[in-house]
Amino acid sequence: MVTANAATRLIQHYVDNFRRLPWRSPPAAPQPDPYRVWLSEIMLQQTTVAAVMPRFERFVARWPTVEALAAARDEDVLQEWAGLGYYARARNLIACAREIAARGAFPATAAELRALPGIGDYTAGAIAAIAFGERSPAIDTNVRRVIARLDGHESPSSRQVAERVAGLMSQVSPGDLTQAMMDLAAAICSPKTPRCGVCPLNADCAANASGEPERFPMRKARKPRPLPYGVAWWTERDGCVWLVRRPSKGMLGGMAALPGSDWVEAALKPPEAIGTVRHVFTHFALDLCVARRSAPVGEGWWQPIETLDRAGLPTLYRRAAELAASASETRRAAA
C-alpha cells in the first residue's frame, strides 16, 4: 500500500532533479503555455525526448502560436515533420491546430481535449494536468510500469492505474505529479535494471521488496513482424530526381516520396535495381527495392538532388534516395 507521504517524496525528488525541457515550467512555477505542452506531447508519442527537443525548437520558432500553425500550409508542416515518423501525427496536428484556432482557445479539460483530432486519453490527461491543473491521470506505458511495481501487480487494469495516480494527485500539484512520474519512469524506474536504490518510492514499492522489480509488469510476448516488399523508382534528369506526394490517407500520408509500387507480400525484383533498404515501422518491417526508371511516374516535381535534404522526405525515402544518389555518383565516376 502506498503511504500518504509518497506523493510528497516524489514531488520533492522532482523538484531536486527535474529535467529542464523547453516545453516545461519549473516546479511550482506558473503553468506553461498549453500550445507548447500540446505540441510536445504529440511529438513525444513514440519518439524520444532527445530526438524531439531540436525539432520542437524549430517548430515553435517557425510557428510560435497555435494560430500560426493553423494558418500554415499542409505541405510546410509535413516537410518540417519529416524524420520524426508516425506521420498521422502531423496530419492530426494540422487538423487539431485549426480546430483550436477556430474555437479561439485550448479547451481546459481532458474530456474536451479528448474530442480533438490526434488527442487520446493519455495526451488529454497530460495536457489538462500540466497546462490547466486538472486532476486528470495521464496513463501511458511508463506510468503503468511505475504503478504496477508500486503495487506489485503483474497486469494492472487501466482503472487500477488511473485510481492510484488520482490518489497521488489528490495531495500535490497535478502538473508536477504528472511530470514527476514521467521523469521517474525515464531516469529510475526503467524497464530493465531499475535504479531502486535511489527511487523516492522504494520504501513503498512492492516490486522492490520482492527483489525482482523487472518482473513487473508482466511482459507480453512479441509477435513476429510481417515483412512486405515494395519498389521505389529513381528517375534522374539534369541533376534532378522525380518526386511525388503520397496519398493523404494511409502510411506516410501526404509526405514527399519517390514514386513506386504498392507494398505486397511477395518480393519484387525489378530490372535496373540499385539496392534495397529495410525500414522498421511499429507493426511491420518493409524491404524497399530502389530501381532506376527512365520516365517519371505520377504527378510530381523535379527536385534538385543537391537540395534533397530540404524536400521533406520521411526516413524511408530519404534512405532510399541516399542509396540511389550514391550509386549514381559512383556510376558517373566510373564512366
The catalytic residues are: 41
Name which of 254, 260, 319 is nearest 79 in CA terms. 254
Any idea what DSSP says for residue 305? Answer: G
Which residues does 59 contact at the CB level (< 8 Å), separation at least 6?
Answer: 39, 43, 69, 80
Helix (H, G, I), strand (E, B) or coil at 15: helix
With the CA atoms of 241, 299, 265 and 252 taken in that order, what torsion angle do they form, in degrees rounded to the nearest 10? 80
Residue type, 42: I
Helix (H, G, I), strand (E, B) or coil at 276: strand
Greatest alpha-carbon span in the chain: 76
Q: What gap in Å lies between CA 77 and CA 70, rounded to an integer?
A: 10
Distance of CA 293 to the CA centre of its chain: 34
Helix (H, G, I), strand (E, B) or coil at 207: helix
Helix (H, G, I), strand (E, B) or coil at 58: helix
Which residues does 315 contact at the CB level (< 8 Å), separation at least 6?
Answer: 82, 83, 85, 279
Name which of 115, 284, 145, 118 is nearest 214 in CA terms. 145
Any idea what DSSP says for residue 250? Answer: S
**In the block, residue with C-alpha cell 512479441:** 222
Q: What gap in Å lies between CA 21 and CA 84, rounded to an integer?
A: 18
The β-bridge partners of 275 are: 290
